[in-house]
Amino acid sequence: MPQLGIFERTYPLLGEEGVTALINAHALVCGVGGVGGYAAEALARAGVGALTLVDHDVVTVSNKNRQVIALDSTVGRSKVQLFAERVRDINAQCQVTVIDAFLTEADVEDLLDQGPFDYIVDCIDTTSTKIRLLELCAKRKLRVVSSMGAGGKMDPTRLLLSDIFSTENCGLAARCRKELKKRGVPPGRVVACWSAEPCKKPLAPWPSLTGGRPRAVNGTLSYIPSAFGLMLAGAVIHHAATGKFPASRHLSTSASAASAKQKKQQKQQQPQTQQNPKKRAPSAAARGGGKKQKVADQPQGEEAARSNQNQAADAEGNTTGEVPPPAAGATDSDVPVPECRSAE
């Protein structure tokens, strides 16, 4: 095997074409906090040839529980500058461009004009800017992978990669779906990393130590934002090597709506069940048939409903190929859920 340097362990998986595709790829990473920082580092270690990193923030002590760049020695320093140094130390061949600025909704178009970018990795937690970025990427047919809410989550086994219109249990994703639909963005244009775990409520807003407006405090742990970031980077690397985005599974919004409707019906039927308990089937002896016959246990009430839901969910599964859009005619189901933020 030739001396491949940083690609020595990558080459057996991706081959010459895949490695070449990574070397020629240019990825824009918007936000390099808890999610984006791990995404940027994973892309650099995979051998992506060019990275443009956008963030205005500096490292704070509270970042240390989840952000790869956050150390006692880096508190107060610019995150994008630190990542530029880190990426160059990992992969000297990677061309790094830093934009140390707060990205607003009005800035998105100019930012995309600075391309061309082969991939956009969205790790923004400002909702208006995030939606504008996703809208323009979709309308320009740019490849974009986006982080939904990583705050308030604890279960790493619930992370998924799918079309953004297949997300659920995430307030940030709900707002994105609603606005993108209003702006004419169809399914199949935005790949999202999200968690199916219900979001835990944040603490009440309290004043910022840096002098900003009071903000609700979302709980975060070391492994959830990093897992989000690594999944986003993995989606980019997989597409560069194979031409396809991986998909964890596909949950159509019609299936989500049906599930919510079924739960509502079960709740309405519960009091009736309590008032009118099911009569026991008469025994064989009562029917005059001699020996008692054992009747096979059947799932009853909520157990039967759960079984039906699981079967419906299995029928909707999709674990291979391109990320598919929701079924034709599906309607969105934006139910109120606790606030979730992406990079924090």
Average pLDDT over residues 98-112: 96
In the chain, helix, strand, coil percent, each to 5? 40, 10, 45
Average pLDDT over residues 199-218: 71
Contact 70, 57 (CB under 8 A): no
Q: What sign does the dihedral 120-186-168-157 (CA atoms) show?
A: negative
Instruction: State the pTM of this model.
Output: 0.73
Mean per-residue pLDDT over the chain, rounded:
80
| 44 CB burial (10 A radius; 0-12, 13-18, 19+) | buried
Rounded CA-CA distance 171/154 in Å is 16
Report residue 33 as tokens: 């906090």
Rounded CA-CA distance 249/168 in Å is 13
Task: Render pLDDT for 245-295 as a digit per residue (tens, 0 to 9).
Answer: 987 754 444 444 445 555 666 677 765 545 454 555 555 444 544 444 443
50-54 and 26-30 beta bridge pairing: parallel
Instruction: Give the residue with greater pLDDT, 332 vs 235.
Output: 235
Question: Which residues fall within 8 angstroms of residue 249, CB to CB, at 6 or more apart?
Answer: 160, 162, 316, 317, 318, 319
215-217 and 203-206 beta bridge pairing: antiparallel
Contact 250, 163 (CB under 8 A): yes
Task: Render pLDDT for 21-41 as a digit per residue (tens, 0 to 9).
Answer: 999 999 999 999 999 999 999
Phi, psi of 52 (to 5 degrees): -115, 120
Which residue matches tokens 């937690």? 125
Q: pLDDT class for 310, splitting at 50, 70, 90?
A: very low
Element (H, E) at 233: helix 223-242
Check residue 214 and give its pLDDT.
72
